[in-house]
A and B are shown apart, each in its own frame.
Chain A
Amino acid sequence: MEIKNIKLSQLPAFFDQLIKSGKVVIAPVMKKSGKVFFERVQSYSQVATDYIQTGFSAKSVVFPKVEVLFSFNKTDDGIDIKDSITDIPETIVWGLRPCDGSAFNYMTEFFLKENPDVYYAARKAKTTLIAISCAKADDACFCTSVGLTPGSTEGSDLLLTTMGEDVYVEVITEKGKAAIDLSASLFSVNEERSKEKYLAKIDTKFSLTEIKERIKTAYDSAEWKNESMGCFGCGACAFSCPTCTCFDIQDEGTQNKGQRLRCWDACGFGQFTKHASGHNPKTNQTQRRRQRLMHKFQYSVENLGIVSCVGCGRCIRVCPAHLNIFENILSVTQ
């Protein structure tokens, strides 16, 4: 891995070069409500710098909340079908957290492993991820419990760590290299150093090896009921989660004109498992909450070999009842 250095004061200049490259730049923006969201920006002055975590993850760049798969239009000469895959622009995501970066690894496995999803592949190929290590964390952060750290490089293309007046730049992939080559003069050669003292301190909540072992027998735990009693059955956790990939295919329009859409869906919804017959195998919120947690820590390990929770803590912060995923996992695996 190549290591570079850039002066902290030069970051805006680097950012301007990214904007000037003509690519779409998505970065965290502080809203009036005090919450921070990823949004398309035009200048560095719009970018939020002092925050712990964005309200929603950056997954919508590769997996939008609503994605047009194709559209059709009936004309006198027949049916005109337009594939939306051709419209995808080159995109840079600035300032995502290392946990979000690693979430892209999971999504890539999920979407591309067996039956490659062309829409995801096309978006991912055109996306550059510039992550910034966490200097601050709150009690909801638990990346260190799922095998990551506030300075993990997994999944990202470039990782920036502020060290006083300097920014320590880890060039992880070719895409990351291409991004810094846009303003090569701003970067100087650096040697590998420990980032440790510049990173947030996050306590380990549990031992992942133990949890992975114990959750195999947790399905019948009596604790599921207590742990999910507070769950209201909304989709806030799934929609804010960087690794929740469930979707619902919808056709919208009329017989003459319309489009096929891929929309976010959430396993917390009562209708998520409802069959066309009207039968619903998951009848209560306990079963739905169990599905969500078991998927993160067991089913995705069985299917893809990866724990699909990155410890970003969004579901805890966003949950109307503030259900705590790591406390839940601990109690059902006791």
Chain B
Amino acid sequence: MSEQFEPKIVAFVCNWCTYAGADLAGTSRTKYATNVSIIRFPCTGRIDFMLLMKAFENGADGIIVSGCHPNDCHYTSGNFHARRRWIVFRSLLDFMGFDTDRITFSWVSAAEGAKWAGLVDETTQRIREKGAFTDFKKLDCSTFEKISHDAITE
């Protein structure tokens, strides 16, 4: 049997809604893909775009960013700020030619254990089909080969 590619997925989630939603999925014994590593944040407003870049740099193949539904933020407006930032960040990534399909943005509430499980399954499946994220690795290798001389290319 040929081995299936198992993507590494990092989930950046807020403490109050999505983390609790993931907990609910667990306590409800819902089965979902084990590819995801969850990182808990106080709020989606705290999820800096650089964290996403660093996750990709350190070998993530896909990312999930999730928090409270609009109007449900524990801190009133963290997710509204986050939403603006994601809109801009996503369009910047797209303009730079980065594959934005590797990032899933979502709202998952504390009651939506099943939505969380479905989201992880769906993201895992999508990234599995896309294959490993190599865009960054290719960049590194091409420069370091050139570095011994002159990396100045157009």
A91 adjacent to B154 (CB under 8 Å): no
A64 adjacent to B147 (CB under 8 Å): yes
Q: Which of chain A's residues have a CB closer than 8 A to the CB of B142?
A: none
Bound-state Cα–Cα, A23 to B147, Å: 16
Give a binary string over B115-154; 1 marks a CB under 8 Å from any A CB, 0 the rest: 0000000000000000000000000000010111111111
Q: How many A-B residue pairs have CB under 8 A?
A: 42
B147 adjacent to A39 (CB under 8 Å): no
Give a binary string over A42-75; 1 marks a CB under 8 Å from any B CB, 0 the rest: 0000000000000010101100111110000000
| B interface, over-half SS | loop
A26 adjacent to B148 (CB under 8 Å): no
Bound-state Cα–Cα, A26 to B151, Å: 11
Q: Chain B's nearest CB lies how many Å from the CB of A229?
A: 31
Bound-state Cα–Cα, A32 to B152, Å: 13
Q: Is A31 an interface residue (CB 8 A)?
A: yes
Question: Quick one: given A31-B154, A32-B154, are A67 and B147 in contact (CB under 8 Å)?
Answer: yes
Q: Is A4 an interface residue (CB 8 A)?
A: no
A68 adjacent to B150 (CB under 8 Å): no
Q: Which of chain B's residues have a CB closer than 8 A to the CB of A26?
A: 149-150
Q: Among the interface residues B146, B152, B153, B154, which one has the most CB atoms of the partner chain A within 10 A?
A: B152
A40 adjacent to B150 (CB under 8 Å): yes
Q: Among the interface residues B144, B146, B148, B154, which one has the most CB atoms of the partner chain A within 10 A?
A: B148
B153 adjacent to A39 (CB under 8 Å): yes
A64 adjacent to B148 (CB under 8 Å): yes
Q: How many residues of A contact B (CB 8 A)?
A: 22
Give a binary string over B61-79; 1 marks a CB under 8 Å from any A CB, 0 the rest: 0000000000000000000
Cross-chain contact of A65 among B151, B153, B154 (Cβ < 8 A): B151
Bound-state Cα–Cα, A40 to B149, Å: 8
A65 adjacent to B147 (CB under 8 Å): yes
Cross-chain contact of B150 among A31, A33, A37 (Cβ < 8 A): A37
Q: Chain B's nearest CB lies how many Å from the CB of A252?
A: 11
Q: Is A88 an interface residue (CB 8 A)?
A: yes
Q: Which of chain B's residues have a CB closer than 8 A to the CB of A33?
A: 154
Bound-state Cα–Cα, A17 to B63, Å: 52
Q: Chain A's nearest CB lies how many Å from the CB of B20?
A: 33
Q: Which of chain B's residues have a CB closer than 8 A to the CB of A66?
A: 147, 151
A64 adjacent to B150 (CB under 8 Å): yes
Q: Which of chain B's residues have a CB closer than 8 A to the CB of A64?
A: 147-151
**Which residue of the partner chain B has the closest CB to A58?**
B150
- The 5 A-B residue pairs with the shortest CB-CB distance, nearest first, are A37-B152, A60-B150, A31-B154, A66-B147, A38-B150
Which residues of A are in contact with B by a Cβ distance under 8 Å? Answer: 24, 26, 31-33, 37-40, 56, 58, 60-61, 64-68, 87-89, 91
